[in-house]
Copies of this chain bind each other. A is one copy, B any other.
């Protein structure tokens, strides 16, 4: 199965998390004596249990296509946000839950995020690890720092054959 690529919009992503994008911000106001526009609270940092938010940088390899998608992960105790730091696009793969333990592979979604768009996965959203495009790329990441198990991995059954096709992502 080849995943169909979709434009990343707030509505399309609403079940999985928030899109961090000034273009779709509905709460914008001037601060600092009018020298700065604040696009306010585009994403919520959630941390469950004894924990806090932390800021990291992920440096992701550029992926090669066609690419087999073989697993997803989720963070049961906190949100996780990604924001590109070099204005380069990337891919986002998510799935709703089938039950408490696994994602619904029949409802996988593939989004094309522009270099001006971040995503914030809700706590527990099944998603694929970072899929940078073009070249090695840095992303600011905001996620939970604390004790306790905060990463589940789900490896697809043998023979699943779920693929991101070799394609130009331009003009998506």
User: Considering residues A25, A45, A60, A120, which has the most beta carbons from chain B within 10 angstroms of its beta carbon?
Assistant: A45
Rounded to whole Å, the gap between the CB of A158 and the closest CB of chain B is 18
Asked if B140 and A83 make an inter-chain contact with CB atoms under 8 angstroms apart, the answer reads: yes
Within A27-75, the residues touching B (CB, 8 Å) are 31-33, 35-47, 52-61, 63
Asked if B83 and A35 make an inter-chain contact with CB atoms under 8 angstroms apart, the answer reads: no
- Report the separation of the CA atoms of residues A57 and B141 in the bound assembly, to the nearest whole angstrom: 14
Within A73-93, the residues touching B (CB, 8 Å) are 81, 83-87
A145 at the interface (CB under 8 A from B): yes
A118 at the interface (CB under 8 A from B): yes
How many monomers of this chain does the complex have? 2
A43: chain B residues within 8 A (beta carbon): 54-55
A46 to B, closest residue via Cβ: B52
A110 at the interface (CB under 8 A from B): no
A37: chain B residues within 8 A (beta carbon): 58-59
A25 to B, closest residue via Cβ: B57
With A20-B57, A22-B57, A138-B22 as contacts: A44 and B35 at CB distance below 8 Å: no
Chain A interface residues (CB < 8 Å from chain B): 20, 22, 25, 31-33, 35-47, 52-61, 63, 81, 83-87, 116, 118, 120, 129-130, 138, 140-142, 145
